Structure 1
Amino acid sequence: MRQRHMNRLKVTLALTSVLLLSMPALAAADESSLQTSQVRTILSNVHVSGVTESDLSGKSIKEMLAQLQDPYTMYFSDSELKKFENSIENNVVGMGARVGIDADGVYLIEVFAGSPAEKAGMQRDDYIQAINGVSVKGESLSAVVAKIVGEAGTSVQLSVLREGKLINVNITRAAVNIPEVYSKRFDGNIGYIQVTDFSSDADEEFTKQLLALKSKGLSSLIIDLRDDPGGFLESAQNIFKNFIKEGTLIHTRDRNNQDQPILIQGGSSLDVPVYMLLNENSASASEVLAGAMQDYGVAKVIGLQSYGKGSVQQLYEIPAGGALKVTIEEYLTPNKHKVNKVGITPDIVADGSAAQMITALKKAGIQNVTVESSKHKVLVNGVEIRDTFPLFRENGKLFAPTRALAAMIEAGISWNNETRAVEISSAGKKLTFPVEADKLVIKAGTSYVNVDQFASVFSQLQVTDQGEKVTIRAVKGN
């Protein structure tokens, strides 16, 4: 990882403080008059709103921040700053595993290479039964995680259930850097790269994995920025350098309405189709990169309207103590499209995690799609994906996400509120699936269709139901 200093944090576009942290404001009783004065001076000189020193006169730090009504401008104590930096860099102290929860409890989704969990022999799909001898049955995911993390060098004992056997594991907690870039290869030399956040070394890792994909042949590329809250602007800038030789990443507007564009120089090009996945939680640096790729015609954006965080923050050290993160600019895309409170508009709208991924793979060149779904694992054409493909049974019938099945056969899908039915458009025909117990059910705003009934109408869909493992194949032309 790169060595980082305060100036490395100067321009940050992370939504982390909103999505991942709850930072308490400095209490009035804890602040000094010198701190208050220094914060007031910084805000009155650089905050994008144009607020003046007289506007902030006589107010505490907490009151000044409240007056700005800017959720991204905030004060950090020294300890809070460290937490903020760690959140952006994906650094945690714990066992080094990604966990999830289902009806059976908290389990391991992924064990990070070189982590304390890996060294202790923990495995994917281990179910955590107890921590330090105390049962965690029925506890929430966050409650279990809170008991696992702790000070580096301290120990924690986990009792895990693996294939019906209870195993005790002793783990020494350590600092762990969570991977933020993942890549895969699908049939037909279709590359896939997911960026979970724009940490200071995400750009280097992205370029490394892109070069590895190119070295084995690349016909098209999918870049997945879904649920990516952002991070460092410089990382987005360097990733964009893989796609254009020179140009503009963003335009900026400061409190004086001056534009200081962030430029690209010394870049390269990639002569294959590129598709980018965004959703409503893609924010900040994700929107910077997607907006630039879209404006230059480098990539088509698939998914949903993004979050709409179109502002730039700069971190200032307060000599009297702490640090201040201040919104100093609004940014626009290269074609000067507004992002703040608007977001990036996708070229192809796709709703639902699995439907988005399948749509991108179809656009990237995959003809026939095979989805294999089993407990905690989804494979598409033999490649494991991180998207969910939720299946369930009701009255002996198998149900699957309607949007995902529609994406597999490249059909249009819409909701008719008057008839309370899903309408599927395919090959010039419109078919209706009404909300009925044996046909279509709605759960948490998502429609699920009876798989057998769907397959009986669309012959290109083939279903193999083996109980715990279900395989659904869509063959083009059937």
Structure 2
Amino acid sequence: MSRFRQLLGIIVVVALLVGGFAAPVYADDIVSEVKLLLEERYVEKPPEDIHHAESIDEILQILDDPHTEYLTAEEYDRYISNLDESFTGIGIHIQMEPEGVRVIRPIENSPGEAAGLKAGDLITKADGKSLAGMISEEAVSILQGPIDSVVDLKVKRDEQVLDVSVVRDVIDVPNVTGEIVNDSIGYIDIDSFGRTTNRAFDNAFENLKKESAESLILDLRYNTGGYLSSARQIAGSFIGDEVALQVESSSEKNPYEALPGGAEVDKPTILIMNEFSASASEILAAALKDHEKAFLIGTRTYGKGTVQQIFSLSNGDKLKATINRFYSPNYDEIDGVGVMPDLVVRSANPKTVAKLLLSEPEDKASYVVFENNIKEFTIDFDKVRKPKYWDAWGAVFNETSPDQLTAVGEWGEMHFLQAHQNLRWPMYFPNYRQTGFFNNVPTDQQFSINLGVNVDMNTVNEDSIELIESHSGKAVSISIGEKSSDTIKIKPQEDLEPLTEYWLVVHETVKYKNGNSLDNPLIAVARIAQ
């Protein structure tokens, strides 16, 4: 059974790569016709048991290929509607599970979202009919319906069982969207590879160029595929007419080139993917990776490396059958394996990670160089220390070998060590020196810091000293209390969170009496009691 995310309200085999519609191969009956097609065109020799099968269902059961399916005329129409991104339904992304339909996420502004459906919900019944054990086409045929009609759902959410009524409507799903982020980074999200996706990509990229985009984030998360030609055309924008994939049938192997002619992308590119990026998404990701035209981040892709073709049958129905396997341009396996990212990102939003990597420092006063075999990035420490990018930098640091990271500043260079991942604070303040460690600190603790008699206490204020929650990077409001010749008292303006680590940071803006900065800025670690 397919695990792919589906667009609800239509029949969706989004991972399908359509190679064209073949003329029917006529036989005495439709079962014999399907057997003959499989014998002639299937990716490998079908099992001998197929010859003894007496029904279409029995043939498909013996074949045990979730991507080879028999489509009635009605199911085929719904399938085509899906690829063209136009349908009437409730508007959610799903994957099929034995117990029913799992909601991956509702489509923005869809009836499903308006009715309160959430990511992770499990739809077990629709209008009283169980969805357990169904394939996606069966479930979708039940859940779709005329505009303004109502479908009553039984939804399992954690330990709750909810009754949710959804009014069906026309779902508008633009499969390509683009915007400028961080002033100069272009962002393009491709939701699926439809008939016109390549033209939509070209338009989005040209608009971003007009807005002075200096780099590009290409987002293929939750994109389960579509038309092979569309993926090859978008690949052509990056690699020209170089090989985009290797294709293998039962009788031959052939390289398939990309199809240039659209936009020409010559900007630094990061491609984002996840475990729901499949088929055509994997073709594009593997092509850009093998030709070193993009830096891939996220998680390993789904691993659907087969090509399907739709064959017209004499009774007006269709057979969608697997006819090829495909590999990366370098002939790396994809089916059952997936495409590995250059940087694994699990614990943070990969879009935020991509923005961090592509945001060049403005003055390069303090930065970190991230260098691997594919790409070198220069990351601004001013951004690293902001709560917005705190988790993103932590994800980069924790998934990268320390010898690929070098901190640079007016104080010189510092190579990170494995131990810094455990301490954590050197990830954000590499040139600082730890001056103390406080354990089992009360939640209402006041802190005293001895800075020495040579420090100019006039430079000590709420801007030069921070109290930072270590896992989020958020600063706690503090007040500077009594100052003596060498010691200051610091009072948090709120109770600290139990079992949480905080860093008391004394920045380089604190000066000695002679006007020089501290030899090393200081940091003290405090762990709050339960």
Give the TM-score of the pair, scaled to structure 2: 0.56
Query: Are residues 1:217 and 2:230 paired?
Result: no
State the 1:456 CA deviation: 3.9
State the 1:209 CA deviation: 0.9
Which residue of the partner structure matches residue 79 of structure 1?
74
Instruction: For 1:232-247, list aligned pairs within 5 A.
Output: 232-247=227-242
Which residue of the partner structure matches residue 93 of structure 1?
88
Select the structure of larger CA radius of gyration: 2
Which residue of the partner structure matches residue 207 of structure 1?
202
CA distance in 2 between partners of 1:281 and 1:428 (Å) = 40
CA distance in 2 between partners of 1:242 and 1:366 (Å) = 24
Instruction: For 1:329-344, list aligned pairs within 5 A.
Output: 329-344=324-339
Structure 2 residue identity aligned to 1:299:
A
Instruction: For 1:34-53, list aligned pairs within 5 A.
Output: 34-51=29-46
Matched-pair contact (CA < 8 Å) for 2:91–2:171 = yes
User: Would the alpha carbon gap of residues 367 and 338 (structure 1) be closer, same or farther in structure 2, given more than 3 Å must change?
Assistant: same
User: Would the alpha carbon gap of residues 39 and 95 (structure 1) be closer, same or farther in structure 2, given more than 3 Å must change?
Assistant: closer
Which residue of the partner structure matches residue 391 of structure 2?
406
CA distance in 2 between partners of 1:67 and 1:126 (Å) = 39
CA distance in 2 between partners of 1:236 and 1:206 (Å) = 11
Matched-pair contact (CA < 8 Å) for 2:347–2:395 = no
Query: Are residues 1:111 and 2:109 paired?
Result: yes
Which residue of the partner structure matches residue 7 of structure 1?
none
Matched-pair contact (CA < 8 Å) for 1:34–1:320 = no
Which residue of the partner structure matches residue 197 of structure 1?
192
Query: Are residues 1:455 and 2:468 paired?
Result: yes
Matched-pair contact (CA < 8 Å) for 1:187–1:366 = no
SS class of match (1:242)? helix
Structure 2 residue identity aligned to 1:41:
L
SS class of match (1:214)? helix
CA distance in 2 between partners of 1:318 and 1:17 (Å) = 26
State the 1:82 CA deviation: 2.2
Matched-pair contact (CA < 8 Å) for 2:147–2:170 = no
State the 1:259 CA deviation: 1.7
User: Would the alpha carbon gap of residues 307 and 458 (structure 1) be closer, same or farther in structure 2, given more than 3 Å must change?
Assistant: closer
Structure 2 residue identity aligned to 1:57:
H
Query: Are residues 1:358 and 2:352 paired?
Result: yes
Deviations 1:117-137 (A, max 9, x none): 8xxxxxxx99649xxxxxx9x
State the 1:189 CA deviation: 1.0
Higher relative contact order (CA 8 A, sep 6+): 1
Matched-pair contact (CA < 8 Å) for 2:347–2:391 = no
State the 1:412 CA deviation: 2.4
CA distance in 1 between partners of 2:208 and 2:214 (Å) = 10
Which residue of the partner structure matches residue 58 of structure 1?
52
Deviations 1:392-424 (A, max 9, x none): xxxxxxxxxx9974324566237xxxxxx9874
Deviations 1:59-90 (A, max 9, x none): 13222222222111111112222232233333
SS class of match (1:79)? helix
Deviations 1:210-239 (A, max 9, x none): 110011211110001011111111111121
SS class of match (1:343)? coil
CA distance in 2 between partners of 1:48 and 1:108 (Å) = 35
State the 1:96 CA deviation: 7.2
Matched-pair contact (CA < 8 Å) for 2:91–2:107 = no
* Identity within the alignment, %: 26
SS class of match (1:328)? strand
User: Would the alpha carbon gap of residues 68 and 126 (structure 1) be closer, same or farther in structure 2, given more than 3 Å must change?
Assistant: closer
Structure 1 unaligned residues grouped into runs of 5+: 1-12, 24-31, 100-106, 118-124, 130-135, 159-170, 369-401, 415-420, 440-452, 465-475
User: Would the alpha carbon gap of residues 33 and 357 (structure 1) be closer, same or farther in structure 2, given more than 3 Å must change?
Assistant: same
CA distance in 1 between partners of 2:51 and 2:151 (Å) = 53
Structure 2 residue identity aligned to 1:413:
N
User: Would the alpha carbon gap of residues 321 and 235 (structure 1) be closer, same or farther in structure 2, given more than 3 Å must change?
Assistant: same
User: Would the alpha carbon gap of residues 359 and 316 (structure 1) be closer, same or farther in structure 2, given more than 3 Å must change?
Assistant: same
Matched-pair contact (CA < 8 Å) for 2:309–2:321 = yes
CA distance in 1 between partners of 2:210 and 2:50 (Å) = 57
CA distance in 2 between partners of 1:179 and 1:339 (Å) = 28
Instruction: For 1:8-27, list aligned pairs within 5 A.
Output: 15=4
State the 1:265 CA deviation: 4.2
User: Would the alpha carbon gap of residues 334 and 459 (structure 1) be closer, same or farther in structure 2, given more than 3 Å must change?
Assistant: closer
Matched-pair contact (CA < 8 Å) for 1:198–1:230 = yes
Structure 1 residue identity aligned to 2:352:
I
Matched-pair contact (CA < 8 Å) for 1:93–1:173 = yes
Structure 1 residue identity aligned to 2:190:
V
| CA root-mean-square deviation | 4.9
Give the TM-score of the pair, scaled to structure 1: 0.61
Matched-pair contact (CA < 8 Å) for 1:246–1:267 = no
1:306 is matched with which residue: 295, 301, 305? 301
CA distance in 1 between partners of 2:355 and 2:322 (Å) = 37
Query: Are residues 1:273 and 2:268 paired?
Result: yes
